[in-house]
Chain A
Amino acid sequence: MLKSFISFVLLLALNPMFANAGTNTKPLKVGMELQYPPFEMSTKDGTPSGISVDLAKALGKYLGRKVIIQNIAWDGLIPSLKTKKIDIIISSMTITDKRKKVIDFSIPYAQSDLAILTNPTSGVKSVKDLNQKGKVVAVKKGTTGNIYAIEHLKKAKLLILDKESSAVLEVIQKRADAFIYDQLTIYRDWKNHKNTTVALLKPITKKPGYWGIALRQNEPELKAKINAFIKKAKSDGTFDRLAYKYLKDIKKTFIKLNIPFFF
């Protein structure tokens, strides 16, 4: 019993040593939450697909490493990166100062803004109406919406939920006055519940949020390679091809609504 325990502890302690032996040939583990179509989603048989998945594969090709996609819940992504369960995060993650304290980001590859989903009876017309006593704002835990609400909506009551679907339900059932998330999600949620919700798609922040590929701090070599890859993908039309493949209809809507597009 004791012997097996000691060997178990030794195995745990030595594990990273073995893992670090061959750095370049080992597969690139990419973490993402497959709950944000069409960026991160899975097909009916469960294989990951979407823009971020294609992007990860293109990055793997560029680096000459095999890519393993790992589906991890949103608020587990950064801890997984920190504990070396994954190597990078490509999950439509916005670069924020708070996140920069614990992880590193590549140069931005896309942009997105926050928007508001509200219900017809709440009387919310803009984000100013939300920063008031008695207003209830739903957010998804750990998202930019959550960070924004804590910093800018101090008077409102926050409802922090695990799932986007719960947040939408709270708004529909009028338990929350608004749900703050990115424009694409808000637009899609509104489309699914046209009678019970109102989408305010005008950006609520002055500057858009920029998405980056997240990696651990102090890995300049990998960071330089990823940055070079993003620059190349921007110039050789990789992003345009992905946008055409996945976002054709959404792009039209965004242009019609005068919302800046992702790429």
Chain B
Amino acid sequence: MFLGTEYNFNWKSIYEYKQKFIDGFFTTIYISFFSLILSFFIGLFFAYGQNSKIILLRFFSRFYIETIRGTPLLVQILIFFYVIAANLGLDNRYVAGVIILSIFSGAYISEIIRAAIFSIPQEQYETGLSLGFTTFQTYKYIIFPQAYKRIVPPLTGQFASIIKDSSLLSIISVNEFTMNAQEVNSYTFSTLESYIPLAIGYLILTYPISLWSRRLEKRLKD
């Protein structure tokens, strides 16, 4: 297939910049890792918020999820960084990057959690009630253990998405993997030589997650 592109590969020029690739790779890991944790808590909070008895919280949660899911991440990053973060005086673009990525991903995680809890049949709640459980106990002993199995597979998929979505942070000049590869490309003008290692790098990050997810699914089935 590469024959058809008539492309002269020049790996030597890329090799000079290998440190840039390594740095970018680790920055992507850091950013994804912190976003992963933060987005899980954001998701958990808004999943609760959507079922909350407080009407304002419910509306706010709905509003948050619809806005985030209905707008492109690229636009969110630009608005958050140049409007919101600028007004708050948040100048660290790495922290801003982690926050916006978590806010974005949190909306999806919230929907994953909500859908899983929602899918538990009504009888299960009634069972809890009939056993004399409090609401908290019903959730703890009956609902969550069942919902957990339905949350884990899509959640791992969402985590793999965070890693890939972090590449968009390059537009606010966060020196992550994609940014650095683009930079090397603009210095050496070797497009494919920069982007092929990039693709492989992302695969190295996401493939273990996908493997782990499959093993987890199997274990949960048994």
**Residues of A with Cβ closer than 8 Å to B?**
9, 11-16, 75-76, 78-79, 82-84, 98-99, 102-103, 141-142, 146-147, 150, 159-163, 166, 169, 173, 175
Contact = CB atoms under 8 A, between A and B. Distances in A.
Interface of B: 1, 3-8, 82, 86, 91, 170-173, 179, 182-183, 185-191
Most A Cβ at <10 Å: residue of B3, B5, B172, B173: B173
Contacts of B3: 12-13
A223 B23 CA distance: 40
A147 B3 CA distance: 32
Nearest to B7: A83
Given A13-B4, A15-B4, A161 B173 contact: yes
Most A Cβ at <10 Å: residue of B7, B188, B191: B191
Given A75-B182, A82-B189, A146-B186, A175 B4 contact: no
- Sorted from nearest, which 4 A-B pairs have the closest CB atoms? A12-B4, A142-B186, A79-B191, A78-B189
12 contacts: A9-B1, A9-B4, A13-B3, A14-B4, A75-B182, A79-B190, A79-B191, A102-B190, A141-B182, A162-B171, A166-B82, A175-B86
Interface of B, secondary structure class, is helix
A206 B191 CA distance: 31
A141 B187 CA distance: 9
B128 to A, nearest CB: 52
Contacts of B186: 75, 141-142, 146
B91 A175 contact: yes
B150 to A, nearest CB: 34
A99 B4 contact: no
Given A9-B1, A15-B4, A173-B82, A79 B185 contact: yes
A12 B1 contact: yes
Contacts of B179: 160
A142 B171 CA distance: 14
B186 to A, nearest CB: 3
A79 B189 contact: yes
A21 to B, nearest CB: 15
Given A84-B6, A142-B186, A161-B171, 15 more contacts: A13-B3, A75-B182, A75-B185, A82-B7, A82-B189, A83-B6, A83-B191, A99-B189, A141-B183, A146-B186, A147-B187, A161-B173, A162-B170, A162-B171, A166-B82
